[in-house]
A and B are shown apart, each in its own frame.
Chain A
Amino acid sequence: MSRPWSWAPWLLALQGMFFGVSAVAMDLTALSVEELMQVEVVSAARQSQAWSDSAAAVFVITADDLRRTGVTQVAEALRLAPGVDVARIDSSRWAISIRGFNGRFANKLLVMIDGRSVYTPVFSGVYWELQDLPINDIARIEVIRGPGGSLWGANAVNGVINIITKSASETQGALVSVTAGNEERAIVDARYGGKLGESARYRIYGRSARREGFVDPQGQSSSDDWTMQRGGFRLDWQPSARDDVVVLGDHYSGDMNQNMVVPMLEPPYNEHRLDPVTARGNSLQARWVRNYAPTGQFSLQTYYQNQEHSDLQQDVSLETFDLDFQHSFGLSSDQQVVWGLNYRHYQDHYAPVALSMVDPTEATTSLFSIFGQDQIDFAAARLRLTLGLRLERNDYTGWEWQPSARLLWMPTAQQRLWGSISRAVRTPSRVEEGRTTFFTLPPLPAFGGLPAVVTGLGSNAFAAEKLTAYEIGYRNWLHESLSLDVTAFYNDYDDLLSATDGAPYLVTEPAPHWVLPRYFNNGLNAANRGFEMAADWRPHPDWRLQLAYSHLWMSHPQRAWAPADQVSLLSSWQINDTLELDAWLRYSSSLLVQTISTLGTVTVDPTWGLTLRLGWRPRPDLELALVGANLLSDHQLEFVQEAYTYPVEVERSLYGQLKWSF
């Protein structure tokens, strides 16, 4: 009974600091003609974008991709990116990770929306169901595989996902979008963008989504329907030619029904329950960027957010305050430096619930970090070395350091070869220290016929989980119509979460039972390696194919819970000026999930997914689409939650979409 404990729903990470606000990009239209004439360009053959020169494994999901895949939620769109493992647990829960260690409570992936972290220390992960942004307002989703700790801070271990919304100037006028179908029951988006004087634009938006539940493996309804309401605004203000200000705010409110198998001390020792989950939250964010010189920029960002989440596992309210400063400048013509400071403050309150308790119930914690990065060009700008380091202090493990070294070689205009070594940490949180979680085992002869309550116990000796990652990548714009991106990696993990058993003891209240204490520690080392490939081919100006393939070798597949092979192929065909036909095929090989439930280790069979979309734009201001998702099966299992497990299968979904702008 002393094998490593295989999951960590109660383990939270103290939120990663993140640095989403970069100091350096520039909208070229802000430049004068004289300045434009000084800008160096790269050939169109390699569809130049800032990320194409990054010495990291990067994939960008564009607004057009979001439209062509017909997705109604951010989480589903991530299936396009190589190396990202997206699995739907039920109608409102997802397991999403990069390069393994997936789970409902996947804790090694940092996610940010416009530079605001939505990685929550409530459970060290992301509530994907709450990130139900209006798809039409998203400019792009940047997926960075591999450690981002030196830039974005703790918990960017396996990767970072940046969701970037459109600026207010890109969303002027009114837009109404309606989606309705058998699973996507009714999703209504409305937004309006306008001007405030000469230098400011804004938009306001609202979204209401009602989604149907799925079915259990026998095909019976699992009643896990849910609703999300969201509203917000964005203001983009340019008070002067060198200043940019953005103010963002939002509110959401969600009501989910989630199936749980809850332990009990009496026969039958567990009980299936439909858990009514409520989640509410608000955020307010402001960012000011000053471009004080062609290569010099300051940015200052602050945000406040609060969230309340109540379910059988947690009843928590959390407030976050974050303050972030960054400065970037050209040290010489060959060197670009960026450095910054970040402070974050958390205040939480946990109410006791049936399945866990947190001691003490209230706490205030803070994070402080400083980072720097130097990007040096040499060998006639054919080689670029980027060195970065972040030092971060948290209240649990003290100072953590996260360095990275990246080298990029640009042998020709069409080719990039890069390699990197980086280190990232997942920091523990208060709940890892002070949370007690309960599970029951039915009576066994070894327990003298009494039930046993497995009790997970946090410990203040818990250290950060660490990753050292070695990556190498190659990009080639073989032709104007064909590009290829390949990455291989070796991830060496140390001090991963595990647990050891303490001595069982007998308790007589409220009914006689054994308590089997399990103490968390850092007892597991693991290694994952693999490769990822993305190809983008336009065989014809009206036809585009995007292929992503990834393969993963896991030293502990029973711990990493990820498929070895994944494929995504998106075909986007512009039939004529008004018609589009898109097909999206996906494959995921089988995977294991080691559950804390009577189901033990669950094997999820390989899954195939097919989405077809027919889009029609009869007028420039009107778009209609018919979408069928998960067309290849009536229902199939993609994943199971790692604890209190109740399998739910994803159903075929058919829906229509209407988008009208005026």
Chain B
Amino acid sequence: MRVLAIGLQLLALSGMAQEYGEYEVKAAYLYNFARFAKWPTSVFAEDSSLLVLCIVGKNPFGDALDALAGKAVDTHAIRIQHMTGLPGVAALRGCHLLFISRSEQGRLPQLLATLEGLPVLSVSDIDSFAQVGGMIGLVERDRRIHFDINLAVVQRSGIRLSSQLLKLARVFDE
């Protein structure tokens, strides 16, 4: 649901011509990725199961993710979960969507190895994320956020991404 602007926005009119915070936009992307992804049916026990968005590493979103916490994708309400340390397979299985913060760059190889084959949609803005084996990489070009998709990795996980999403992305096939 759109925020009804009251108060300060009048001082800094922020229509579409206006710039937004990098992570406000990235949070909105996460929401859209969840909407355009189809997880294997086994992932959700029932219609009312939560869709869990995990963040590993330092949270760069500020309160931008709070806006997602009240939303739902189909029948699944979104829940935000912050993870600390290097999560194992069991913990990651509890996630549907995983955002890997830039703070985890050093541990990225281990993380991606753990994630291999799991039905967890991995997203990150670490450089070349999709090229090195992540699923969706967020990249900034010309002050706008675009995204790369590593289709082979996505397909191995059993997750299906809508063609609408694929046609807007820069797609890598390993």
Contact = CB atoms under 8 A, between A and B. Distances in A.
Contacts of B173: none
Interface residues of A, number: 79
A348 interface: no
Interface stretch (A26-34, A68-76, A85-93, A260-268): A26-34
A47 B2 contact: no
Contact of A29 (B4, B8, B28, B62): B28
B8 A58 contact: yes
Interface in A561-601: 577
A511 interface: no
A236 B2 CA distance: 10
B167 to A, nearest CB: 10
Contact of B63 (A64, A115, A164, A577): A64
Interface string B63-91: 10011111100000100000010000000
A306 interface: no
Contacts of A299: 4
Contact of B9 (A22, A44, A63): A22
B59 to A, nearest CB: 9
Contacts of A201: 1, 70
A22 B2 contact: no
Contacts of B68: 29
Contacts of A144: 8, 11
Contact of B7 (A32, A34, A115, A338): A115
A283 interface: no
Contacts of B156: none
Given A36-B145, A167-B70, A289 B4 contact: yes
A170 B69 contact: yes
Which of A32, A50, A64, A291 has the most C-beta atoms of chain B within 10 angstroms of its own C-beta?
Answer: A50
A540 to B, nearest CB: 11
A85 B3 CA distance: 30
Nearest to B23: A44
A19 B14 contact: no
B107 interface: no
A169 B12 CA distance: 25
A28 B4 contact: no
Nearest to A34: B168
A555 interface: no
A41 B70 CA distance: 24
A63 B20 CA distance: 21
Contacts of A24: 5, 9-10, 13-15, 18
A64 B62 CA distance: 11
Contacts of B84: 577
Interface stretch (B29-37, B92-100, B111-119): B29-37
Contacts of B19: 39-42, 48, 53
Nearest to A238: B1
A162 B7 contact: yes
B46 to A, nearest CB: 17
Interface string B128-144: 00000000000010011
B16 A39 contact: yes
Chain A contact residues: helix, strand, loop or mixed: mixed
A114 B3 CA distance: 12
A28 B7 contact: no
Interface stretch (A7-15, A181-189, A328-336): A328-336
Nearest to B169: A33
A287 interface: yes
A49 B67 contact: no
A317 to B, nearest CB: 28
Nearest to B66: A170
Contact of B1 (A55, A244, A294, A297): A244
A28 B25 contact: yes
A53 B164 CA distance: 34
Contacts of A525: none
B143 A246 contact: no
Given A42-B20, A55-B11, A167-B70, A244 B2 contact: yes
Given A25-B14, A26-B14, A164 B20 contact: no
Nearest to A236: B1
A162 B7 CA distance: 6
A235 B122 CA distance: 35
Contacts of B40: none
B32 A36 contact: yes
Contact of A246 (B4, B13, B25): B4
B21 interface: yes
A328 B13 contact: yes
Given A37-B168, A48-B22, A295-B16, A287 B4 contact: yes
A289 B58 CA distance: 36
B143 to A, nearest CB: 5
A68 B24 CA distance: 23
Which of B16, B58, B77, B164 has the most C-beta atoms of chain A within 10 angstroms of its own C-beta?
Answer: B16
Contact of A54 (B12, B24, B29, B62): B12
Contact of B11 (A21, A54, A164): A54
A295 B17 contact: yes
A184 B20 CA distance: 41
A172 interface: yes
Contacts of A373: 10, 13
A33 B34 CA distance: 12
Nearest to A56: B11
B6 interface: yes
Contacts of B13: 22, 24, 328, 336, 338, 373, 375
Contacts of B11: 51, 54-56, 58, 144, 151, 386
Contacts of A169: 1, 70-71
**What 3 A-B pairs come out closest when comparing CB atoms?**
A48-B21, A25-B5, A162-B7
12 contacts: A22-B8, A28-B28, A29-B67, A34-B168, A36-B32, A41-B140, A48-B22, A50-B9, A244-B4, A246-B4, A289-B5, A336-B13
Interface of B: 1-25, 27-29, 31-32, 36, 58, 60, 62-63, 66-71, 77, 84, 140, 143-146, 164-165, 168
